Chain A
Amino acid sequence: MEINQSNPAEVVGRIRAGERSAEDELVRQYSRGVYFVINQSVMDSAQVDDIYQETFRLVLEKVRAGQVREPERLSGFILSIARNLVIEQFRKNVRAEVGNEAYGRSQVASPEISQLDQLLRQEQAALARRVLAALESDRDRKILFRFYIADDDKEEICADLGVSSMHFNQILCRARERYRKLFDEMKPERQK
């Protein structure tokens, strides 16, 4: 679905004027990005969903109440709310673990990975192997391993393997494009 990017200040103004469709528009425009930012820090999908819902609840509440001082910087406003909720969630997690320890409970409550998520990970791993197989050389495969698995610095990898910065960027870009293409091809099959 193509989303028309509205001017943030205009959206804020329309929400303050009571236009409900503007609220839907705000959520549609920022939902994907907010979800991504939260998911970057929080692994548990249930917690991600909770924080996501709470973020937009608070954002809309504050926009309606006229608490957005700089409407043109709506992105920054939304992000600060999301980040604070992530930090608060982490504090709750740590407090819960301390409580478990105090009562002598040996099992630490941990996020559950559903069977569906496990299946998805396995499928994604298979796609990653196809991406690796399609790379032109062992050196390109080494670049991907060192950068994405060993978390080596780009400069170190380029120096060790004799690769220019531009070539390095091209290898990553091609790998990502191929992975995306394979992932998109897989989606219609999974939906059957």
Chain B
Amino acid sequence: MEHRQIERDNLIDRYVRGTMALPERRTFEEHFLDCPECLEQLETARSLRQALRVSAAENTSVDDRPVVARSRWPVVWQWVAAGAAACLLVAAVTSVALFQQLQLAHVELASARSVFEQRSEDARRALEREPVVYTLAMSRGARQGSEIALPRDRRWMVFSIELDTTQVRSYRASVVSSIGGEVWHDDHVQPASPDALAVSVPSNVFVPGTYTLTIEAAATAGRFPLARFPLRMGPPK
């Protein structure tokens, strides 16, 4: 394997990000195992990637500025629209034949539509807002995590967890409130890289309080717990 090819095909970064096909990865590993030049670049690339992630997480907690640029999130406003449409339907059905009651119904309908439009707009803006990223690190014996300030407006909260994901391809993530009850879960969290798992939770799931985020590996034989993170959600700053 030549270094010109390695540079041209971005093998250093693709290896660090875990986006190489297996045969190519094997060949590259056999090359760099005793290649000081490639190892230096690999170590630098991995360290830089990790440092950027830590920096992004610190920036988010310090000044509440989201850093993840990409948003490919489910469209939740459809549920808001369905609920508001249901409210409009009820208002229409319950109106009576008399003109005054019909007028009243019209007034109620206009008000509900206004609320629906406002909520649709809020939901649309929530989707367009960049998510906030938090890096979670595992530490033995941790009972209580640092406090996380909830975002001022509704947006996605992405919890980036350092985890070896090379052996398991599907995970379940759930959030349980300290006062009891599961408040959110996702049964099909897919890893985006071999060393990290990103769990996206809508911020409106949380109110200030204590929660536990649980990660389980989903295997054929069942689910196996991998990690639990205590989360303390504080009021927006």
Contact = CB atoms under 8 A, between A and B. Distances in A.
Q: Which of B41, B55, B228 has the most CB of A within 10 A?
A: B55
A30 B33 contact: yes
B224 interface: yes
A94 interface: yes
A173 B224 CA distance: 40
Interface string A95-119: 0011011000011111111000000
A188 B151 CA distance: 40
Contacts of A73: 30
B210 interface: no
A15 to B, nearest CB: 16
Interface residues of B, number: 62
B44 A176 contact: yes
Interface stretch (B78-86, B119-127, B133-141): B133-141
A180 interface: yes
Given A34-B33, A113-B137, A146 B69 contact: yes
A108 B228 contact: yes
A63 interface: no
A73 B167 CA distance: 26
B49 A148 contact: yes
**Size class of the contact patch on chain A:** 35 or more
Contact of A36 (B8, B39, B53): B39
Interface string B199-237: 000000000000000000100000011111000000000
A85 interface: no
Interface string A128-143: 1101100000000010
Given A41-B164, A121-B50, A148-B53, A108 B194 contact: no
Contact of A127 (B13, B51, B137): B51
A72 B21 CA distance: 24
Contacts of A94: 217, 224
B152 interface: no
Contacts of B226: 97, 108
A148 to B, nearest CB: 4
A187 to B, nearest CB: 12
B13 A172 contact: yes
B164 A145 contact: no
B29 A79 contact: yes
A43 B163 contact: yes
Contacts of A66: none
A175 interface: yes
Contact of A121 (B19, B35, B54, B68): B54
A110 B163 CA distance: 10
B96 interface: no
A111 B193 contact: no
Contacts of A97: 224-226
A101 B228 CA distance: 12
Contacts of B49: 148
Contacts of A98: 224
Interface string A59-98: 0000000000000010110110000000100100010011
A36 B55 contact: no
B118 interface: no
Contacts of A45: none
Nearest to B9: A169
A98 B166 CA distance: 19
Contact of A79 (B13, B30, B163): B30
B42 A36 contact: yes
A150 B68 contact: yes
Given A43-B164, A75-B29, 16 more contacts: A36-B39, A41-B194, A43-B195, A73-B30, A79-B30, A90-B167, A107-B228, A124-B50, A125-B58, A127-B51, A142-B69, A145-B56, A148-B53, A149-B56, A151-B17, A179-B48
Q: Which 4 A-B pairs have the closest CB atoms?
A: A110-B138, A128-B51, A33-B33, A124-B51
